[in-house]
Structure 1
């Protein structure tokens, strides 16, 4: 048991009974599960041109000597950026004595824009980042879109990764909620309005999203393109993400017999979220046979809602095993 806010179950325990009711999240749209593509099918099998990812490096005050090149790599979700993970990255660097790289995935934050936005491409970017920086045995931590990116990379190149922490997402095809398309509509309206103040942008976005917390999260992508600019624009390429939305719920691997990550994995889900329902637990175990599951009393935004429960779950998972 981890604190009062979470519980830990092994794959064997989970598959013996999955009767717990999961509540609908209040802070994020729920996915709609759909039938997977044919085994081995891919949305885009064209060659991948990788981009060089922007990142923040959080160094521990007292690094563990043998962990200099085995860092944590933290990946955000859709419309997020490395700045969303700044606090938890600093905390984990401190507690674990390991370097923590918080990434901006392609088409997010300060990373380059590219017309292709899918999980094989994002995983290839991260693999390239690992090789460019000479990192050995990294731990991948991803939330939502970042979780599927981490899972894709782990299955695609298991020798490149030591272990995996996936936060509130599962290795399955799902249809993204229409809420995300609505967000993009509102964000485009803001871009067209040439707003100069955040309050103006929030007023435009309010009809598209009533929840202030979600609006603030989305508006965190606004910036002034140049020092002389008065108007604020969205840093993320809205036209690219709009085209990618239909496939953002996809998962590129369909057959656990063809791809399996036989190293330790931790799946953390919010008990008030529907992104990882009980019926998907056996599938997680087929792709990730050495996985553990931790339930945290939170919605989809597990890390920001319950940072201490998340921290404890990560520390327990990564602590040396006897």
Structure 2
């Protein structure tokens, strides 16, 4: 059963870069959108922060947010969407960005939000929870595990395809031409359309197309995306509610990773989405949303 909300108050903000005083670390001010259901008081339930995966953006989660029946923040992680670019792209830096965002956004700073993340965003959620175990009401990693594991070769192929599009001579002016190049690397139309959401008009020449993400930075960071910052479950543990959602046809959460989940996240529950691959939300929207909504009401709200 899907939850339908008749009215939503939406506030968006673009990001900019900032460097904290006395620190050489560069924290990114994340672009975000706040979605607040009109019939749910903001203070009544923990807000949710939703994070996208590699090559995604907050726009991928707009439909998902309407089903959660509570205040939801969708964010663009660094080097994605409308958030600023940085030469550093790893889970520690992305977690620092999110922690900075939470501490400076009053409605979230005064609460213990729930973190939901897909793929790259799942590892950000798990990293944040292990860095500050008492700061969150719960986490939902969507199809990724707290282990070092090589990315599927697909992501390297996507980078090669996108670099080929960027290097086209003459420069491309139509998305259909870019799609023809992508088709050589990826047969799935839905995945190609997802990747093409990053292709926009060049601000200096509106006729030309340009990637809004820093391809070279992300290409160099693929190894970091396969990494996980915490290696020893005895050194960090999040004992809050954790819902692990994996696609039944995906290889990102293998059975052998489940004991590791149990050590890092002893209260974790596992939901398998039969037939779905890595893109569980888009491939099985109804099933994934139902699992998250039911778990949130049954576990997180009861804890609060």
Give TM-score scaled by structure 1 length. Answer: 0.81
Corresponding residue number in structure 2 for 1:40: none
More off after superposition, 305-314 vs 78-87: 305-314
The number of aligned residues is 274
Q: Does 1:295 align with 2:272?
A: yes
Corresponding residue number in structure 2 for 1:217: 194
Alpha-carbon distance in 1 for matches of 2:84, 2:250: 31
Q: For 1:47-58, what aligned pairs fall within 5 Å after superposition?
A: 48-58=25-35
Corresponding residue number in structure 1 for 2:126: 151
Q: 1:65: Cα distance to partner?
A: 5.2
Corresponding residue number in structure 2 for 1:190: 165
Corresponding residue number in structure 2 for 1:248: 225
Structure 1: any 5+ residue segments left out of the alignment? 4-45
Alpha-carbon distance in 1 for matches of 2:114, 2:74: 12
Alpha-carbon distance in 1 for matches of 2:85, 2:264: 31
Secondary structure in structure 2 of the residue aligned to 1:175: coil
Alpha-carbon distance in 1 for matches of 2:104, 2:154: 37
Corresponding residue number in structure 2 for 1:140: 115
Q: 1:47: Cα distance to partner?
A: 6.1
Secondary structure in structure 2 of the residue aligned to 1:140: strand
Q: 1:222: Cα distance to partner?
A: 0.5
Q: Greater relative contact order (Cα 8 A, min sep 6): structure 1 or 2?
A: 1
Alpha-carbon distance in 2 for matches of 1:258, 1:47: 27
Q: For 1:7-18, what aligned pairs fall within 5 Å after superposition?
A: none
Corresponding residue number in structure 2 for 1:123: 95
Secondary structure in structure 1 of the residue aligned to 2:126: helix
Structure 1 outlier segments of 4+, above 4 Å: none
Q: 1:263: Cα distance to partner?
A: 0.8
Q: For 1:202-213, what aligned pairs fall within 5 Å after superposition?
A: 202-213=179-190
Q: 1:48: Cα distance to partner?
A: 3.7
Q: 1:277: Cα distance to partner?
A: 1.2
Secondary structure in structure 2 of the residue aligned to 1:176: coil
Corresponding residue number in structure 1 for 2:209: 232
Corresponding residue number in structure 2 for 1:109: 81
Query: CA 1:102–1:65 in structure 2 vs 1: closer, same or farther (change >3 Å)?
Result: closer
Give TM-score scaled by structure 2 length. Answer: 0.86
Alpha-carbon distance in 2 for matches of 1:229, 1:271: 43
RMSD: 1.9
Corresponding residue number in structure 2 for 1:38: none
Alpha-carbon distance in 2 for matches of 1:308, 1:211: 21
